[in-house]
Amino acid sequence: MSQHLASTFADLKADLIHKDGPRISTMRNYRFCIAVYRPVDEYKLRMHAARLEKELSHSGWVVKTISLQVLLLRRLEAHGPEFMARLIAREKAAAKRGPERGLHLLTQKIQPELEGPQGIAADVVREIEDFTTANPEKADRTLVILGRAGALYPFFSASALLKHIDGRTDNVPVVLLYPGERFGDTGLSFMGLAAAHTDYRPRIYG
């Protein structure tokens, strides 16, 4: 499986450094792609992603890695120091009456932080804007990697995130690291557990 990841990142790198500019998508002005991997390969995936960043940096690129987990934790922490403690206590109490009750409670509290154009997508856009503003001379050699999506399961929707950041990233190439399973050319199941979404627009590597 490590060889599979090596092949995935070799293909991705080749398309990024194409002589005519990044070729990670077949659609004009849509520079998004997905690198899919098995959730059990999370740590191997991080090694390959770090290696890609290092190789691109040596070639004059600037790379921004954004942790979706960190963005969510920041949003939750912004509610104040007591919020997380109360949420954990309420989830434990609800789960004692049934696991589905605890999950329902968390869904009610966490999904609003993730959904819509003003959810976590707005945080991603802000991170990208800050990075491109700080590196204006590297506009044609800038890459953004979105990682740690698995930490947001089962509340996260990759298709919704990409929809809400489309047109808001200064046309910078964006790679979403996606833990899950692939189904055909355009289908993905988040973590290999969620129902497969079968019509992803971005190119899928892996």
pLDDT for position 117: 92
| Helix (H/G/I), strand (E/B), else coil: 147 | strand
Q: Is-contact 179 191, C-beta < 8 A?
A: yes
Q: Which residues of 68-96 are buried (b: 16+ CB within 10 A; e: fewer)?
A: beebbeebeeeeeeeeeeebeeebeebbe
* Confidence check: pLDDT of 203 > 70: yes
Q: What percent of the chain has pLDDT over 90?
A: 62
CA distance 183 to 181: 7
pLDDT for position 21: 84
Higher pLDDT, 2 or 142: 142
* Confidence check: pLDDT of 26 > 80: no
Task: Tell me what the mean pLDDT of segment 140-157 comes to.
Answer: 94
Q: CA gyration radius for the chain?
A: 18
Average model confidence (pLDDT) for the chain?
91
Domains defined for the chain, CATH in brackets:
2-69+117-205 (3.40.50)
pLDDT digits (tens, 9 = 90+) for 97-145: 888 888 888 888 888 888 999 999 999 999 999 999 999 999 889 999 9
Handedness of CA 134, 135, 140, 144 (dihedral sign): negative
Q: Is-contact 17 43, C-beta < 8 A?
A: no
Tell me which of 25-34, 113-122, 174-183 is least confident.
25-34
Task: Tell me what the mean pLDDT of segment 155-180 comes to.
Answer: 93
pLDDT for position 123: 97
Task: Tell me what the mean pLDDT of segment 180-200 comes to.
Answer: 88
* Confidence check: pLDDT of 194 > 90: no
* Confidence check: pLDDT of 77 > 70: yes
